[in-house]
Structure 1
Amino acid sequence: MTDHPNQFPKLHNAAWPGVVGKGGDGNEPPIDLDTMLDLTAAAEVDGRKFDGVDLFLFDPHVSIDATDQELESLAEQVRSRDLVIGTVVAPVWPPTDGGAAGGDSDEVDAYLKQVRKGCTIAQKLRQMGVRPTGVVRIDSATSVEDWSKAPEECQSKIADTMKAACDIAEEYDERLAAEGEICWGGMHSWKMMVDLLRRVGHPERLGFQADMAHTLLYLVGHNAPDDAILPVDFDWSDNEQKKAALKKLTHSLREWTIDFHVAQNDATVHGTGSHDKTGRHCLPNDPNGKLNIAEDAGFWLRDEHGDVLKTCRHICWDGCMFPNEQMMKPETWNSILASMLAVQDAHGWNE
């Protein structure tokens, strides 16, 4: 009997750590997609490997304006390494030709244009047979500062924009997932995230993407102190209180969760390059990590009764803004794959 008997949820690696926080003056250069795919395909633990990758529709990896020929080439790049594609990230924010969902009409038009392009690519990859699961990831593309100038008006605008995005997604039979990051206005606390999802009110088209690193910061109220579940001076060695806080958080957001990122976090914020300060992604064995990855994933992947949910047919490791030197080491990806397998062992299933 194998040490890892479950085959679901499938295990994906994110390719975007090769570009997020990279490039530009004073930053490390991007790591090309072929290299990220090679690193993913080479990882192996106990005879198990990654099943697929999630992609950022952003140059130099995958252009949001990719032609059909370029997408066919992308599909072959992935297939040749015995991988598939899952979730794709639409670059809805400025300066990637997108706009703020809570902005003026021109910004909203730019935002929705990027959503449409993202859904077009997602559908085509599905039709090519290389994308069996996954969603199109979006966010509000609105800064917390701008949101704070007129919270109610901005929240309403973001909801209206996302309703229009849902109409677009329906045209392509795609689902959208809004990622809960504290750097995005209207989504920077767990209460506001729930409020936004309810205002949009289209769970068949818009759900929540839970990233373990980002949602941990919801607990301590970075950017939204009034919504903190844990005190500012919380002692992270108190595992029982942390679990109680995670239970409260996931009780509100789990019903919306349709995409899941496994990650580690040290409960601080971090940002490099053009990426706003957000949850610091750590290596799974980082001594400062505050998450018990396999155990804490269960708050999202099991229901209130402890039964395994089968909502997310694949899960993805997200580890943005690691140094290039660290990402080029095979042992980095083996340790990450081992953590992913631990989550699958604890909360997975077979079909």
Structure 2
Amino acid sequence: MQAFLITFGKMIEILGMLLIGFMLRKWNMLPEQTPKVLSGLTAKLFMPSLVFMAMLRNCTPANLTENAPLVLYGGGIAVLCFLLSYPVAVLFERKNQVLKHQYRYSTAVPNSGAAGLPLAIALGGSAMLFQMNLFNLMLSVITYSWGIMQLIPGGKGGFKASLRRLVNPVLGGLALGMVLGLFGGEQWIPAPIQNLADSMGNCYVLAAVLLTGYTIAGFDLRETLKDVKIYLFAVVRLLLIPLALLGLCWLIKAPTIVTVLAVLVYAGPCGMNPVIFATEHGVDNKKVAGLLLVSMPLATVTIPLLYALTIEVTGWVPPVG
């Protein structure tokens, strides 16, 4: 029960931020360029700062050696979900190629940034965030290469363009933090610089969730929300995939932290990228906006339940919280 309450409380906080972002748009309290500004700050400043500091503090040679298996386990699970996305997408859409690709992306790539990442910080601090970043390395590669190709109609730009997308502020902050951490950067980088990066990183969760709520408020989804497929896919995204991964980790006797991270990451709701890219390229965005709108509030309940079940199965005790 305690495990459920810890995560449920955090998810209620996230839902509260989401509702504030929603109402800010409904009440026209912010200018029209707000989503562009918030998304730019989140992707280019706040999240890079957050992952940079997590790596700087925790990526010591001893920690990296101890946690190296997380890269392999996380990579294997990411590839498995990537392969799974093809048959799942066909189950939900056969004719519309754009929509089929959106389903592929939403199956393979959970929105761990809006749920799993804040929970990792709440449960295990920067040490667990470091572990999650290692676990998510292959997922990040898949997201910024294959994933983005799925969301661009016709796959414009091809493979080389996908590789170029791997050069981005988030992965740059992660790589820089790893290198400096291995050379003891926390000890010799001036405290004001570290405090500045901390302050920017601490803005990430609030900005990301406010942006999600603000974006959702811009859609009239009354007809879309009558589509049963949206709710069925939410069940797949929020319950079936993380439960299958929990069972798989139990069967192969994966390390406890791998099981916990697999559930926290892949229990995440649908993300914003399908909505953003659909809007940018002038294709129908109502379905993916509906997936986002339905899955985000439901995750408030499903993630705590899955986390409590994971604690029961593994006996894991969070180091913080």
Same fold (TM over 0.5): no
Greater RCO (CA < 8 Å, at least 6 residues apart): 2
Name the structure with the higher strand share.
Answer: 1
Normalising by structure 2, report the TM-score.
0.29
TM-score, with structure 1 as normaliser: 0.27
- The structure where helix makes up a greater share of residues is 2
